[in-house]
Homo-oligomer: A and B are copies of this chain.
Amino acid sequence: MAKKVIVIGSGAAGMTAASTAKSADPTCEVTVFTQDEDIAYSPCAIPWGIEGKSKWTDIVMHTPEYYEKERGIKVYTKTTVESVDDASKTVTADGKAYTYDSLIIATGGKVFIPPIEGTDLKNVFVVRTIRGGKDIQEASKDAKHIVIGGAGVIGLELAVSFRNMGKDVTVIEMMDQVIPRIADKDMADIMQKHLEDMGVRFIMKAPIQAVKGDGEVSAVCAAGQEYPCDVMIFATGVRANLDIPKALGFDVGQLGAAIVAPTLQPYKRGRLVPDIYLAGDLVQCESAIMSGATMSQLGSTAVKQGTIAGFNAVSAKKRLFGPVASPWVSQIGDLQISGTGLSKGLASWYGVDVVEGKAEGLTRARYHPGGKKLIVKVLADKTSHRIIGGQIIAGEEATGRIDWLTAAAINGMTAEDFLVRSENAYCPPTSMVKDVVISAVEDLCRNLE
């Protein structure tokens, strides 16, 4: 009999899981339930959608009709799952019961909005769905003053998009640096300067106190000041959406997300739950750098988990989800910033003493036209000399380099080992003869002595 797979959630994790299950076992019946009206898109694309650089119709990879016709996957949009019964293996959605053999829960996260007045005013938004993106675009048309709450990468990408649209942009951030937590202050300050040069105003060390307005937003209060505002966007991070896992009594970890085994199965009081798999922003991960829990709410992580959850939902042989270093990258104006593993801030959270190495150079040979600035920082654990993270700012080609550093870190290379055994490909149009990554590790080794 055909295996019945139900997926709850239609983001990167959910739709990847659905497609993977169907291709791993073409005989299975896959049904997706989602509250969203659009499916199969990357929320990371929304800043470029608002600006019009990418079209909404392109960002949404496929329609529900496409999934049904081309892949044989039934998708119920705008549909709420009311309850899950893991004893009878039943999902109830919009009042109807559906049975499953395997269930994948990929309900993602919810944008954290501070508990202050006025967040329900008109023209106050979060960045999460295509619908939300379109609403922001519409509301911004005649807006003059845009206020963004939170200077994480999505907040900064949005700031650039709005500057490109000619808006007055204010970013309000609680911490003393942009991209807090995952970037070090010296690297973050370069990005902040870059944005200030583009005309973005920053209000730092300023928790948002209130959103003001009569029916619709007119100002935002932070650190005792009031800033005029026609459109306010909260880009204040995502919390795991645990409604269903909690209702089912699944174990939740110390970081406020669901604990899973490497097969992505959840636990109930420490015991593995059969036939259920979790994927995406609601999952707590293991760190590849330190023994311990970490969050990895990235699109790339969601897709990886979705692939594994979908495969495991229909296969006797299981695939495993490994620990994460969570490499990330963001394009902010003309600069890319990327990072991997622990930042200095995260390292101090784990109690690790850090030594850093840094180097500056170019993305091409000095004499080759078109080379862009390249700044690389690599961090090592002071006691073991193990590479535990790094960050890169570059005009181009930051992504491959951070994936390279990630591979070194997850394989436990020390700084000295990296220098002995690492090599970089070279030709004048694509790198310096000694890549700046290697120069940064040379600096790191000197500083470790």
Contact = CB atoms under 8 A, between A and B. Distances in A.
Interface string A421-446: 11111111111011101100000000
Interface in A394-441: 396-404, 406-408, 410-411, 413, 419-431, 433-435, 437-438
A123 interface: no
A327 interface: yes
A48 B364 CA distance: 13
A401 B398 contact: no
A72 interface: no
B421 A367 contact: no
Contact of A422 (B61, B397, B410, B434): B410
Interface string A106-127: 0000000000000000000000
A410 B55 CA distance: 41
Interface residues of A, number: 76
Q: How many copies does the complex hold?
A: 2
A272 interface: no
Contacts of A303: 433-434
A190 interface: no
Contact of A298 (B42, B319, B426): B426
A193 to B, nearest CB: 20
Closest 5 pairs between A and B when the two form their complex, measured CB to CB: A400-B400, A58-B367, A407-B407, A327-B425, A411-B411
Interface of A: 12, 42, 44-45, 48, 53-55, 58-59, 61, 153, 157, 262, 288, 298-301, 303-304, 307, 319-331, 336, 338, 340, 365-369, 396-404, 406-408, 410-411, 413, 419-431, 433-435, 437-438
